[in-house]
Structure 1
Amino acid sequence: MKTVMIVDDASTVRMFHKMLVSSDDRVVEEAENGVEALEKAIGTPIDLFLVDVNMPKMDGYRLCKEIRQNELLRAVPIIMISTESATQDAQRAYQCGANFYMTKPVDADSLKSVVSAVLGGS
């Protein structure tokens, strides 16, 4: 069983992404911001993070850096999903340690494909 954590301050976005990535062999955890995501990730093994950029308390860039600096989490793949579509936004995400960068509204098939590829086809 793989665990995907969806981190987004918009409940509708979390619900949509959860619908897309949920499967018989995937569990979805949710967090409204980076602080909540880190707290939950310490107690739950996470196999993939889907992270929004613009969130209160701790934005996606900072969360990405925190994940990469945490010994238990640093190897976990991160897909950043944001309304920010400029080249420098994607570059900043990759500099923070993101593995993929997608823009909202995300294409459902693209997100499913990337998540399956990252999780090894599960």
Structure 2
Amino acid sequence: MAEAVRRRVLVVDDAGLVRRYYREALEAAGYLVDEALNGLEALEKLLLQPADLVVVDVNMPQMDGFTFLKALRRQAAPLCAIPALVISTESGPQDFAAAQAAGANFYLVKPVSQATLTDYADLMCGAGA
């Protein structure tokens, strides 16, 4: 019997506690998790090893989430097709529109429960880890 493939998620957020919270939830659900502090570091990591999903904050130093998503969507396949879940404290209609324009697949407003995070990861990675 073949072993199930574990999906890889890259969590991009400058807040260590947020990254840890997401990591714990995703690893408990069976995902492999890597972390980046900002969009620039995330792009570097994805060029070395693509992920099955990126979970990204908006407000970060060096390269914010929207700039990161635009840069990601300009990459060659398979990078440009990686699903992106934006999770931010920003909650205005302009924020949702900016996320969509940047290439986000879904946008959630913090705080997000661990169950909600893993539900979206399962949805975006296909029927679970």
Specify the SS of the correspondent of 1:102. strand
Q: Distance between the aligned counterparts of 1:6 and 1:26, measured in 2?
A: 11
- Change in CA separation of 1:69 and 1:103 when aligned onto 2, cut-off 3 Å: same
Q: Distance between the aligned counterparts of 2:28 and 2:21, measured in 1?
A: 14
Is 1:43 aligned with 2:57? Answer: no
The higher radius of gyration belongs to 2
The letter for the 2-side match of 1:71 is A
**TM-score scaled by structure 1?**
0.95
- Structure 1 gap segments, 5+ residues each: none
Specify the SS of the correspondent of 1:22. helix
Is 1:89 aligned with 2:110? Answer: no
Residue in 2 that maps onto 1:62:
67
Is 1:99 aligned with 2:105? Answer: yes
Deviation at 1:22, TM superposition (A): 1.4
Q: Distance between the aligned counterparts of 1:35 and 1:45, measured in 2?
A: 14
Q: Distance between the aligned counterparts of 1:7 and 1:92, measured in 2?
A: 18
Specify the SS of the correspondent of 2:58. coil
Is 1:4 aligned with 2:9? Answer: yes
- Change in CA separation of 1:19 and 1:25 when aligned onto 2, cut-off 3 Å: closer
**TM-score scaled by structure 2?**
0.90
Specify the SS of the correspondent of 2:33. strand
The match for 1:53 among 48, 58, 67 is 58
**What is the percent sequence identity of the aligned residues?**
43
